[in-house]
Amino acid sequence: MQTPASYGEGDATFLAAGGEAGIFELVNRFFDIMRDDPQYREIWDMHPDDAVDKDVSRDKLARFLCAWTGGPRLYREKYGPISIPQAHAHLAIDARLRDGWLSCMRAALDSCGYPEDFKAYLTRELAVPAERVRQACEKNLHAS
Ligand code: HEM
């Protein structure tokens, strides 16, 4: 049984999430909830319509999270280097959308049936890049 303190060490978070298959499942649920729950529809609509059912966005987030949780660097392998704040800097993401993204992720984590301490850990950790995204977008919100 994983303790919260060890989740950040090495690939412990990646393994606790169920490895590559677990993370792709989590991300698929995340996007399905975003598509189906009206409260997240605005975030769904912000993603490019580049493939059926946002397949590229699903692939990108899942690959990114594999490395972010200490697993293989699958995003870089396929898409090259990435800075999360920069990747969102053209968008107008405010505190409401940041919290919506995190809440949608929390719903996806709940639907996967992970242990409570793991869900709490991941939600807390994801709040850090989510806030950096909001900060990177701040200039777009004040422009008039
Ligand atoms: C703060 C709330 C967030 C919102 C509303 C949001 C929304 C979006 C949108 C709309 C895109 C598509 C951008 C485009 O191609 O035009 C995107 C891309 C992406 N997001 Fe987020 N995002 C948020 C936070 C995060 C966080 C916290 C992560 C990672 C931990 C993340 C990972 C990614 C990745 C990997 C991509 C693909 C980037 C690329 O390859 O260009 N996002 N996000």
pTM, 2 dp: 0.95
Q: Say if residues 129 and 142 touch (Cβ distance below 8 Å).
A: no
Query: Average pLDDT in the 86-109 region?
Result: 98
**Nearest to 124, CA basis, from 137, 105, 142:** 105
| Residue 49 confidence (pLDDT) | 84
Over residues 26-35, the pLDDT tens digits come to: 999 999 999 9
Q: Say if residues 129 and 98 touch (Cβ distance below 8 Å).
A: no
| Residue 47 confidence (pLDDT) | 97
Residue among 88, 98, 125 to mutate when testing ligand 1 (max atoms within 8 A of CB) = 88
Query: Does residue 28 form part of some domain?
Result: yes
Q: How far is the CA of 88 from the centre of ligand 1 (A)?
A: 6
Tell me which residue range forms the domain holding 73: 10-142
**Nearest to 91, CA basis, from 34, 128, 141:** 141
Whether ligand 1 lies within 6 angstroms of the CB of 102 is answered as no
| Residue 144 confidence (pLDDT) | 53
Both structure tokens of 94: 């405010």
Both structure tokens of 12: 């412990």
Query: Does residue 2 form part of some domain?
Result: no
Distance between CA atoms of 103 and 109, rounded to whole angstroms? Answer: 10
Domain count, the chain: 1
Residue 2 has pLDDT above 80, yes or no: no
Query: Does residue 115 form part of some domain?
Result: yes
Confidence of residue 4 (pLDDT cuts 50, 70, 90): low
| Residue 57 confidence (pLDDT) | 97
Query: Does residue 4 form part of some domain?
Result: no
Whether ligand 1 lies within 6 angstroms of the CB of 61 is answered as yes
The residue nearest atom 32 of ligand 1, judged by CA position, is: 61
Which numbered atom of ligand 1 lies nearest the CA of 133? Answer: 1
Distance between CA atoms of 100 and 94, rounded to whole angstroms? Answer: 10
Which phi and psi angles does 92 have, rounded to 5°?
-110, 70
Query: Does residue 18 form part of some domain?
Result: yes
Query: Does residue 108 form part of some domain?
Result: yes
CATH number, domain at 19? 1.10.490.10
| Residue 6 confidence (pLDDT) | 87
